[in-house]
């Protein structure tokens, strides 16, 4: 049974100011909670339905924290999911630590991605293509927003994000910095360097002028038809696929 205060606390974590205050965030849904339980995130509390408890017992038994069995209706009151919610966890946020690349590594660099669904999708794509580091402008939506977490489908456990001033960060790097622009080098024929940065621009405005100035390699996804642009997540996937092939 979730108390009124527990529900109130979990609800409050939908807001960034309370997440900052408590340094905690919420993970909802069976798939995401299972991934969380297999990760190095520190758990604060864990609420699961009886069915989830039975199905996931071996994994739950390994946790230092005991899962509390509650009804699905209670989980739906506490979380943001309107249905289909079998598990909810409160976990501790990780600190915003600088990320540096080794000589065979790539990072995505997000220049003001505002939409939580887009950030979640981009994290999932990074995870698919084995990219474990994402550098975010300070205006990029918060990783710990519940919509971001749920749309990563668990990939937030395998990809690290660092929020910083992009220009300052990138100016100190020696590696190639790729950014998508019109009429530049075709990603189908480009030979990517062994490591570097790939900048993804804002949904409406693309790469900002200041960040554009630190790009060392302008690249283009070739177009074969009439659409004017691709959305941020789609462009990320196509560039990553070309990088990895």
Positions that interact with its own copies (CB under 8 A): 121, 124-132, 153-155, 158, 188, 221-231, 233-234, 237-238, 241-242, 244-245
In the bound complex, what is the minimum distance in angstroms from residue 210's beta carbon to its own copies?
25
In the bound complex, what is the minimum distance in angstroms from residue 114's beta carbon to its own copies?
15
User: Alpha-carbon distance 128 to 109, whole Å?
Assistant: 16
Q: Output 24 or 80, the one with its CB closest to its own copies.
A: 80
In the bound complex, what is the minimum distance in angstroms from residue 180's beta carbon to its own copies?
13
| Per-residue burial over 192-228, b = 16 or more CB atoms within 10 Å of its CB, e = otherwise | beeebbbbbbbeeebbbeebeebbebbbebeeeeeee
Q: Output 19 or 124, the one with its CB closest to its own copies.
A: 124
**Backbone phi and psi for residue 185, each to the nearest 5 degrees, phi listed first:** -70, 130
Q: Output 69 or 238, the one with its CB closest to its own copies.
A: 238
Q: Output 7 or 230, the one with its CB closest to its own copies.
A: 230
In the bound complex, what is the minimum distance in angstroms from residue 105's beta carbon to its own copies?
12
In terms of Cβ atoms closer than 10 Å to its own Cβ (0-12, 13-18, 19+), residue 135 is: buried
Sign of the torsion angle spanned by Cα atoms 138, 139, 143, 145: positive
């Amino acid at each position: 049974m979730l108390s009124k205060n527990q529900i109130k606390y979990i609800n409050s974590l939908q807001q960034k100011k309370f997440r900052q205050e408590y340094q905690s965030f919420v993970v909802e849904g069976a798939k995401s909670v299972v991934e969380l339980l297999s990760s190095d995130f520190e758990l604060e509390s864990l609420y699961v339905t009886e069915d989830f408890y039975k199905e996931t017992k071996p994994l739950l038994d390994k946790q230092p924290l005991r899962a509390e069995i509650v009804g699905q209706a209670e989980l739906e009151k506490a979380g943001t999911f309107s249905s289909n919610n079998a598990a909810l966890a409160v976990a501790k946020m990780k600190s915003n630590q600088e990320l540096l690349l080794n000589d065979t590594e790539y990072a995505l660099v997000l220049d003001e991605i505002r939409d939580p669904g887009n950030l979640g999708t981009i994290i999932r794509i990074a995870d698919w293509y084995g990219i474990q580091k994402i550098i975010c402008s300070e205006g990029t939506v918060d990783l710990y927003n519940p919509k971001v977490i749920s749309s990563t489908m668990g990939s937030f456990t395998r990809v690290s994000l660092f929020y910083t001033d992009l220009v300052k960060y990138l100016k100190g790097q020696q590696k190639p910095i790729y950014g998508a622009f019109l009429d530049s080098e075709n990603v189908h024929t480009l030979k990517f360097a062994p490591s570097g940065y790939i900048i993804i621009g804002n949904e409406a405005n693309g790469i900002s002028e200041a960040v554009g100035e630190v790009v060392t390699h302008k690249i283009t996804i070739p177009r074969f038809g009439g659409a004017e642009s691709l959305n941020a997540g789609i462009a990320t996937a196509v560039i990553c696929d070309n990088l990895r092939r």
